Structure 1
Amino acid sequence: MRSRPLALPALLLPAFLLLAGCDDGAPPPAPEIRPVRVIAAERSAGGDVVTLTGTVQAETQVNLAFRIDGRMIERLVNVGDAVRAGQVIARLARENEENGLRAARAQVTAARGQLREAENNYWRQGQLLREGFTTRVRYDQAAQQLQTIRAAVDAAEAQVSIAETRLGYTELVSDVSGSVTQRGAEPGEVVQPGRMIVRIARTEGRDAVFDVPAQVKDQAPANPLIAVNVTGQPQIRAQGRVREVSPQADAVTGTFQVRVGLAEPPPEMRLGSTVTGQMQLGTTPGITIPASALTRAERQPAVWVVDPASETVSLRPVELVRHDPGHVVIGQGLQPGEIIVTAGVQTLRPGQKVRLLR
């Protein structure tokens, strides 16, 4: 006797139909409303104020160096010392130059002795020629010898002058007044001509020196007025204008060195002081929004714009004209007064309802 298969699908069909009828009567789930922080877009009213940190340096620094080589036996100043024009800074050993001067003076003495003999011989040959006891050739030879020895005396005297000058060069004398900022050699070293012995910052003129990012340099207006104060002491302040901009960026930091000439800096703004400078950048036309509002749509910059009537969001491409760490400037794609999302932009989808947090 064969068993008959059970018709399970036929038995279960009414149950499925009953459940389906129950689901059709349930209300749909409420759409998710996401809270977002928003702002109203506003047109840029003016340039931002950028703050930089730098140091006070002399407008002009002078490297003092010996003009001759030799062993330095004495350096009379150190870093931080004030010096005046005409002050002796360092000395070289003098023995070689003193010996050279003595030898040059001895050459002058010998040459002058030869000159006296040549003058006497020339005078005697002239007398003999007038009396007919010598020839014109001998007289001319005496005259030529006198001229040669006179030239030798002049050369020997010039060597004395050179030796005296070299002896004077054994003392390094400052030709400017200022402060010593660096030393380049120590007593006992043999130094070559031109090697920096000390560096002096001249008293006249001070600069505030800043390392400025390329973006800030490009946005700076022409000939800006920069407010400078000692860091932590805002009452010690001065103003200045850009005097010099490095033509090349630093290979490591990518910044440009900018020197600001300070107008009448107070005495408390000393060389080496850390200072803070503030400069207003040029105005960039457009709408400034927080950088956190920026997202992307198909590899293009975009922002979420809120429709106030429906309280839904839409993704709108925009054109950037400037991108700073804290904010961006929109050139096209936004209108003043439009509401944009500034926080939570990565979790939104087009048409999503939102609750506005200002």
Structure 2
Amino acid sequence: MKPIKIVLPILLLSASAAASWALIANKPAAAPPAKNRPLPQVTVAMAQPETLRMNVISQGIVKPRTEIDLVSEVAGKVVAIHPAFADGGFFKKGERLIAIDPRDYDYAITRAEALVAEARKELLREAAEAEQAQNEWQALGGGDANDFVLHKPHLAERRAKLAAAKADLAAARLNRSRCDLAAPFAGRVRSKQADVGQYLDSGQIAARIYATDRAEVRLPVPSAELEFLDLPLTYPDAGQTSLGPAVRLSAQFAGRMHNWEGRIVRTEGALDDKTGLLYAVAEIRDPYAYHKDRPPLAAGLFVRAEIAGSERRDLIDIPRAALHSGYQVYVVDKDNRLRQRRVEVLRADTDRIVLGKGLQPGERVLVSGVELPIEGMQVAIQTSSSSSAEPGHGAD
């Protein structure tokens, strides 16, 4: 037993020494020091002051400037209508659109003429009697006669009755003229509500019509955009017009984009109490004029409007991606480090922003390459053409 007790510890010590030597001999080599990480590659836009026209974009629906109900002023049966008296039909100023049976009104004229003739006869007879009474009184030599003896009240009554008879005749003739419903302007029928054989009461609507010489579009303008527009906000002085800036309207029609020219003619009297918008009204002359390559500017058409704005100098137009929350951008300084700038944003759309203040000419503005920019971060600027500033066009 003693040899085993002596040999076993020796074997265990030998095995432990061999294992330790193996661990030391096969230990992993020390990792090489980590290399510096590459700098973020960013794209920039140059801050270049420009003179830009700050056009304002709006939209609206085309409406006629003048639209009325054609109302019958007399009662009667419709006996004729204009050939174009139908929904969408065109007519000229003064054309008869509806004719009402005039016979009852012709009869009324005849009766009124008879009453005028009778009243004139009675006046002449009363005048003769008054002259005779004057002569007889003078022959008697009885002094001054009173008005009744001289038939002066009788004459006044006959004159009044003649005037009333003439007024009745004029009214009968006026009613007869109202049997023809004429167009007060050149226009178009929006909807008709009467036809041949129908009986119309006095005051009944026969059609809805509108003029085609002018069209209008109500264009909402945010209050922040008003500084870019020369709008007629006040009442014009005598002899002055209130025409405002030019407007270019565009709309998709029959698969093509078409354009029309107009002018701002007025603004509405108050801001919308729900939206805070001011509505400017654009007027388009002769919207139905023939153009071989353009359809008419029909009522009800939805259009996009570009209102000519004022020119502003020393503005900077850069990509929208350069703007961060809080109206901030980052510029790359001469050491290629990011520096934060707070800017004045005059206009922002989906692609571009226009800045008024906050940048110096020639500064390089970070556009992309860093998702979370940090003040003082060092970056590397890409040398591709994408890093150059794009021409400014966002304000047009």
Partner of residue 346, structure 2: 322
Partner of residue 282, structure 2: 259
Letter in 1 for 2:164: A
What is the CA deviation profile of residues 250-308 of structure 1, one whole-angstrom value per residue up to 9, with x for unaligned ones?
Answer: 67774634325559996215341867665553333332222221123xxx421122235
Partner of residue 391, structure 2: none
Letter in 2 for 1:158: A
SS class of match (2:151): helix
Is 1:104 equivalent to 2:83 in the alignment? Answer: no
Partner of residue 363, structure 2: 338
Deviation, structure 1 residue 244? 3.5
Change (3 A) 1:349 1:80: same
Partner of residue 347, structure 1: 372
- % identity of equivalent residues: 17
Letter in 1 for 2:346: R
Is 1:199 equivalent to 2:209 in the alignment? Answer: yes
1:291 to 314, 320, 335: 320
Alpha-carbon separation, structure 1, partners of 2:229 and 2:331: 32
Tell me how many residue pairs correspond in the alignment.
328
Alpha-carbon separation, structure 1, partners of 2:182 and 2:160: 34
Is 1:243 equivalent to 2:269 in the alignment? Answer: no
Using the size of structure 2 for normalisation, the TM-score is: 0.63
| RMSD of aligned Cα (Å) | 4.6
Is 1:306 equivalent to 2:332 in the alignment? Answer: yes
* Residues 133 and 150, structure 2, Cα contact 8 Å, conserved in 1: no
2:133 to 114, 117, 125: 125
* Residues 238 and 262, structure 1, Cα contact 8 Å, conserved in 2: no
Structure 2, gaps ≥5 residues long: 1-27, 232-243, 388-396
SS class of match (2:170): helix
* Residues 179 and 200, structure 1, Cα contact 8 Å, conserved in 2: yes
Alpha-carbon separation, structure 2, partners of 1:247 and 1:150: 53
Change (3 A) 1:103 1:333: same
Is 1:34 equivalent to 2:40 in the alignment? Answer: yes
Deviation, structure 1 residue 331? 3.3
* Residues 125 and 138, structure 1, Cα contact 8 Å, conserved in 2: no
1:90 to 98, 111, 114: 98
2:50 to 44, 48, 65: 44
Partner of residue 158, structure 2: 149
Partner of residue 81, structure 1: 89
SS class of match (2:311): coil
Partner of residue 239, structure 2: none
Letter in 1 for 2:344: L
1:68 to 39, 51, 73: 73
SS class of match (1:258): strand
Change (3 A) 1:280 1:100: closer
* Residues 47 and 364, structure 2, Cα contact 8 Å, conserved in 1: yes
Deviation, structure 1 residue 158? 1.9
